[in-house]
Structure 1
């Protein structure tokens, strides 16, 4: 039996990249043209966060909660879990993030002051990157129908969420901020690890 340190990430991948991208393609076809209003909603949320900042926090948190819940159910639970058993646990984490965002929007008191200029700039950059995420697929040579769009799949949703939280304000408490940031960051790390295995 091989020693454990000889394994690489790709040894734990239970499906081929082709299988994954075909799943994304079928998912996109099933819900077309939902991608277009989602991108429009993302632009509106980005504008609201940039202009209204603190006042917009509650509404943005509630809207993001809906997006996380949708990804948890429609993509992770219903589709991705059919080729990756671990996706059901990721779906539960996404549902937990949806609940945290909803609680932040309904219960938590937003920070009294907006973040500093540097934080807002970085947040805006992350949010724009989340909206432009589908262009990564095009750059990699994949067709539009396999594009990963905010509100439909995990990574752009997590990226956009982190950006809006940094740009548009956060809960006043440090604990609240830590809870809201933890799952999106873990999601991006998991997505990066999966993408790395696709390239090796």
Structure 2
């Protein structure tokens, strides 16, 4: 049983989206840049992509969870902490250490990664509108937890070398928490979130075994 109603949940998005406008546009530009840089495959581009992922998780943890979602759910304080930890992990492993290398490999994982990215950025809001939600009631790309998590899985599937597996823990945890709640709240665009973590984990393990030296 959730500690808030569907109406309260949607009202949080309305207040949040109005308060941060036009940050949503910047989020789309940043996400588009990250996706484009996947196809450059350089140390500079890899660190930039990791930095964008870190910024999305930090913003969502502090601006959405901590500042707005706590008004209707006290567990949001814990969610905010998890998102900030994930942001720090991306910043440390991807930006500081340079252990995240992005690039397109023509395998099933990469194509599914592209599908996740396009779903988070384009199909996700379109499905919300089709379900009758108003624009400012929608969880927006790059600044709210579920689209950020789906986008993250897409970008991780677009890595060309193994990365620290710890980076998957919090996104997979949120895919289960957020995806389960979405079923109760009537947010069908989040149903993919519920399985995206498991799909990504299987594909990445398979990819990393294939890349491992014999």
Q: TM-score scaled by structure 2?
A: 0.79
CA distance in structure 1 between the partners assigned to 2:170 and 2:70 by the alignment:
18
CA contact (8 A) 1:64 1:98 kept: yes
Shift of 1:64: 1.0
Mapping of 1:70-109 within 5 angstroms? Answer: 70-104=59-93, 105-109=95-99
Assess if the C-alpha contact under 8 Å between 2:121 and 2:141 holds in 1: yes
- Structure 2 Cα separation of the partners of residues 71 and 111 of structure 1: 24
Distance 1:192 1:136 in 2: 15
Cα deviation, residue 116, structure 1: 5.0
- Residues of 1 paired with 2:15 and 2:103: CA distance? 44
For the pair 1:140 / 2:131, whether they are aligned, the reply is yes
Query: Structure 1 residues 73 and 113 mapped into 2: Cα distance closer, same or farther (>3 Å)?
Result: closer
2:174 to 187, 190, 195: 187
Match of 1:154 in 2: 145
The answer on 1:16 being equivalent to 2:13 is: no
Give the direction of change, closer, same or farther, for the CA distance of 1:84–1:113 in structure 2 (3 Å limit).
closer
Q: Is the deviation greater in 132-141 or in 98-107?
A: 132-141
1:25 is the counterpart of 2:14: yes
Unaligned 5+ runs, structure 1: 1-11
Q: CA RMSD in A?
A: 2.1
How many residue pairs align between the two structures? 184
- Deviations 1:135-167, CA, capped at 9 Å, x for gaps: 221021101111211221100011111111211
Higher RCO, Cα 8 Å, sep 6+: 1
CA deviations 1:43-72 (Å, max 9, x no partner) are 2211111x1146432211111111111110
Aligned partners of 2:146 and 2:33: how far apart in 1? 20
Contact preservation (8 Å) 1:57, 1:168 = no
Q: Look at both structures and tell me which one has the larger radius of gyration over its CA atoms.
A: 1
